[in-house]
């Protein structure tokens, strides 16, 4: 089974690359952002609480995310070739919990970090905001999300580096070139 943790700042291209990886390798795609937005769209009480956090650019609590991921892993179909985890883990606590969860299910994952310059991230998110309709794609919230990323998510790179399954790609290039870098990582990892 090939599991990939796709990590990177908001606007780093996780969603786009997930689509490419999914098609090339036949993997499932779990975007925690999409799961949370679906909960908001359902209009539930929980959705309202999530909305208040997300639209201000904050993360939802680790325990809530753990529930989502555990439920996903426990219900994986037998034929599943693997999953792209897009947007999880996003804190060191989530990374630690995720490692134990994967171990419990005899699974492993490679972490691929999409590295993109801050100016480019802001530019891409502002462009996306014009069409996405996402409440969090406006300049103030974008700056806050990038700060949250630096403070809470970036440290997971060291965690994965220490655990030996860290890979990174230069995400400043065009989509095809970034994908090429990712395929090299995946192909090398699956050859072994
Ligand atoms: P992006 O990374 O481009 O900002 P996502 O769609 O991945 O967008 O996530 C949108 C929002 O959903 C995040 O800003 C955060 O509030 C919330 N979120 C997604 N995944 C997580 C997670 N693993 N832990 C906490 N909050 C999360």
Give domain 2-187's CATH architecture: 3-Layer(aba) Sandwich (3.40)
Is the beta carbon of 83 within 6 A of some atom in ligand 1? no
Q: How far is the CA of 32 from the centre of ligand 1 (A)?
A: 6
**Span 54-78, average pLDDT:** 96
DSSP 8-state class, residue 13 = S
What is the residue extent of each domain of the chain? 2-187
Beta bridge partners of residue 113, listed in sequence order: 7, 168
> Quick one: pLDDT band at residue 192, thresholds 50, 70, 90?
low
Torsion of Cα atoms, 63 then 145 then 182 then 75, to 10°: 20
pLDDT of residue 4: 98
pLDDT at residue 2 tops 80: yes
10 pocket-lining for ligand 1 (C-beta < 6 Å): yes
Q: From the CB of 146, is ligand 1 less than 6 Å away? A: no
pLDDT (tens digit, 9 = 90+) per residue, 21-46?
999 999 999 999 999 999 999 999 99
pTM, whole model, 2 decimals?
Answer: 0.94
The pLDDT mean for the chain works out to 96
For ligand 1, is residue 20 a contact (CB within 6 Å)?
no
Distance 37 CA to ligand 1 centre (A): 9
Burial of 101 (0-12, 13-18, 19+ CB in 10 A): middle
- Which pLDDT score is estimated for 109? 97
User: Is residue 154 scored above 70 in pLDDT?
Assistant: yes
Give the residue carrying structure tokens 């939802």: 60
Q: Coil, strand or helix: which one is 36?
A: helix
The verdict on the CB of residue 125 being under 6 Å from ligand 1 is no
């Amino acid at each position: 089974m090939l599991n990939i943790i796709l990590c990177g700042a908001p606007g780093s291209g996780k969603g786009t690359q997930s689509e490419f990886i999914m098609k090339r390798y036949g993997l499932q795609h779990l975007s925690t952002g999409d799961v949370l937005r679906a909960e908001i769209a359902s209009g539930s009480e929980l959705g309202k609480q999530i909305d208040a956090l997300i639209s201000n650019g904050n993360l939802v609590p680790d325990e809530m995310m753990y529930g989502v991921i555990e439920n996903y892993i426990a219900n994986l179909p037998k034929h599943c070739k693997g999953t792209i985890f897009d947007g999880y883990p996003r804190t060191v606590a989530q990374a630690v919990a995720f490692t134990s969860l994967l171990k419990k299910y005899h699974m492993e994952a490679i972490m691929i970090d999409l590295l993109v310059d801050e100016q480019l991230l802001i530019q891409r998110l502002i462009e996306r905001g014009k069409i996405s309709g996402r409440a969090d794609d406006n300049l103030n919230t974008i700056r806050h999300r990038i700060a949250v990323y630096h403070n809470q998510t970036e440290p997971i790179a060291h965690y994965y580096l220490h655990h030996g399954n860290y890979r990174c790609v230069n995400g400043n290039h065009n989509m095809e070139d970034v994908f090429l870098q990712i395929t090299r990582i995946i192909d090398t990892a699956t050859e072994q």
